[in-house]
Homo-oligomer: A and B are copies of this chain.
Amino acid sequence: MTADAINQVLEAQHPALFRSLSALGRRTFYPQGIPYQAGQARGTTYNSTIGIYTDGHGGSVPLPSMAGAVNLPPDEMDRAFLYSPVQGIEVVRQAWRQWQRREVDEVLPSTVPVATIGLAHGLSLMADLFTDEGTVVAVPGPFWGNYRQTFGLRRGAELRSAPSHVNGVYDPQVVEKALGELPAGEPAVAILNFPSNPGGYSPTVKERQELVASLLRIAEQRPLIVVCDDAYQGFVFVEGVPRRSLFWDLIGQHPQLVPVKIDGATKEFSFFGGRVGFVTFGLQMEPEAASALEDKLKCLLRSTIGSPVALGQMILYQALKDGKAQDEVAMIHRQAEERFQVIQPALRALDPSLLRPLPFNAGFFALLEIPAELGIDADAVRRHLIAQYDTGVISVGPRFLRLAICSVAADALVELVRRVEQGVRDLAASP
C-alpha cells in the first residue's frame, strides 16, 4: 500500500498515533520492491526472486569454517544463515511475544513484536517515526546519554528533563514537570526506563499508580507516545517492587496515550553481542491498521539496516523454544541479586558528606551523588580513580558517579565502593 493509503487507515483508526507521526513517519510505506515481490512468489517451484546464494532449493550455503562454529538443527541453521524477513523471523517474534506476556492478562492487547538491531535501534526507529526538529521528548534525569544522540542530535528533537528523584524520593510527576509549559494539543514523546540506567531504580506499586495518573493527565492535553525502554526488564531485587513492565499498565488507559515497548535479548538474555531487540505497540489494532504500522517500521528498518540479524534471532530461539528461558534467566537474576545484597551495606556505610547513593532496587547500576557543597566535578573523580586507584566508574553529568554492579564480581564490590569513596575524599581534601 502507498503512504497515503496506510496513513488514511491510521488516521481513521488511531488518530493520536497518526497525529504523532513525524514528517518521515508519514512518508514511510513499504514499497513493492524485492522483499514484497519475493513474498508473493514464496512457494513457487522456480523461484528466482531473491538475491540470496542458496543450494538451489532454498537451503543456505555457509562456508564450512563458519558453519562449524554454529551448532543448530539443519532447518534452523538455514534460517540463521539466510536473510531474516525484514520484520523478524515469525517463530521468533511469536516466541518473544509469549515471553513478554508470560505474566500478562490475555485481555491486554499488544502487537506482534518487530525485530530490531538491539534496543538502541528500536529507540532510533521511534525517533524516526515520532520526532521532527523541535518535537519535545520528556526524559527523566539522569538518563542514558545516547538518548541525546538518537533523538536530539540525529532528529533535532528537543529533550526536556526533570529529576527522577527529589530529596532521594522518586517523583511520579517527573514527566509532567519535564514537559513544562508545552502548549496543549502539541504531541509529545516520553521515555521511561525501568529499571533505570543510570539510576538502578524501579518504582513501587504506589509510585507507579501516581506515575500512570500523571501520564493520563498529560494525555488529556495531547497525544503522548510513551516509550518504555525495558532494557533491564526483570532485574528487580526488592520484594514488593513490581517486576513487569510499566508498558502493560498503560494499555487501554487513554485514547491519546500510545504505549510502546522497546525490549530484547541484550540484557534480559545476557546476549550483548547478538543485537536482537524488539518494538511492540500496546494498542488494540485491527489487522489493516496493524499492517499499516508494521509497513512503516519495515520501511525504516529496510532503509537503515536491510534486515535484522537472523543468526542472533535463531540463537535466542534456543532459549525460547523449549521453555528453558525462565529458569536460565532466573539463574542470572539470582547472581545479580547476590551482588545487590553484597553492595547494599557498603552503600549504606558511605559517608554522606562524600557520597549519597540514590535509591537502588533494580537493574545493573548504583548511582552515587556527590554533594553539591563539595564543589567537586564527577569527571575529575572518575579520572582520579583510574589514575590512582585502578578503578573505573562512569561520570554522569557534573555530580553523579555510576557503578556498574553487573560487571563486578561479588567479592570485589565492597572494595570498589571503598575506593570510590576514597577518591572523592582525596579531591574533597585538596583545594
Contact = CB atoms under 8 A, between A and B. Distances in A.
Interface of A: 24, 27-28, 31, 33-34, 37-38, 40-42, 44-58, 60-66, 68-72, 79-84, 117-121, 124, 128, 145-146, 148-150, 153-154, 197, 267, 269-275, 299-300, 302-312, 314-316, 318-319, 322, 324-325, 328-329, 332, 335-336, 339, 364-365, 382-383, 386, 389-395, 403-412, 415-416, 419
Contact of A328 (B57, B63, B306): B63
Given A53-B406, A270-B81, A46 B415 contact: yes
Given A31-B145, A68-B318, A149-B302, A61 B308 contact: no
A37 B382 contact: yes
24 contacts: A37-B392, A41-B393, A44-B386, A46-B391, A49-B393, A51-B364, A53-B272, A54-B407, A55-B409, A61-B335, A64-B324, A66-B315, A70-B71, A81-B272, A81-B274, A82-B272, A84-B273, A118-B306, A119-B306, A120-B307, A121-B304, A146-B303, A146-B306, A304-B305
Given A299-B149, A311-B274, A365-B51, A124 B304 contact: yes
A386 B81 contact: no
B407 A69 contact: no
Contact of A65 (B65, B81, B322): B322
A28, A309, A339 pick with most chain B CB within 10 angstroms: A309
B273 A153 contact: no
Contacts of A416: 46, 48
Contacts of A273: 60, 79-84, 309-311, 314
A124 B394 CA distance: 31
Given A83-B272, A274-B309, 13 more contacts: A31-B148, A45-B391, A46-B412, A46-B419, A49-B404, A51-B365, A53-B332, A54-B406, A124-B303, A149-B303, A153-B299, A154-B303, A275-B306
Contacts of A118: 305-307
A69 B79 CA distance: 14
Contacts of A406: 51-54
A9 B365 CA distance: 37
What number of copies of this chain does the assembly contain?
2
A126 to B, nearest CB: 12
A71 B66 CA distance: 10
Nearest to A309: B275
A323 B121 CA distance: 34
Contact of A315 (B31, B54, B70, B267): B70
Contact of A71 (B52, B71, B364): B71
B392 A47 contact: yes
Given A66-B315, A117-B306, A46 B390 contact: yes
Nearest to A382: B37
Given A56-B409, A63-B270, A274-B311, A41 B386 contact: yes
A315 B28 contact: no
Nearest to A35: B146
A186 to B, nearest CB: 24
Contact of A394 (B38, B119, B153, B404): B38
A28 B307 contact: no
Nearest to A364: B51
Contacts of A66: 269, 271, 315-316, 318-319
A31, A44, A409, A411 pick with most chain B CB within 10 angstroms: A44
Contact of A117 (B146, B267, B275, B324): B275
Contact of A45 (B314, B390, B393): B390
A392 B65 contact: no
B48 A303 contact: no
A236 to B, nearest CB: 15
A287 to B, nearest CB: 23
A49, A66, A197, A393 pick with most chain B CB within 10 angstroms: A66
Contacts of A119: 306
Contacts of A403: 48
B47 A407 contact: yes
Q: 10 shortest A-B CB distances, which residue pairs?
A: A56-B409, A41-B392, A273-B310, A120-B306, A149-B303, A46-B391, A33-B145, A47-B392, A63-B328, A44-B392
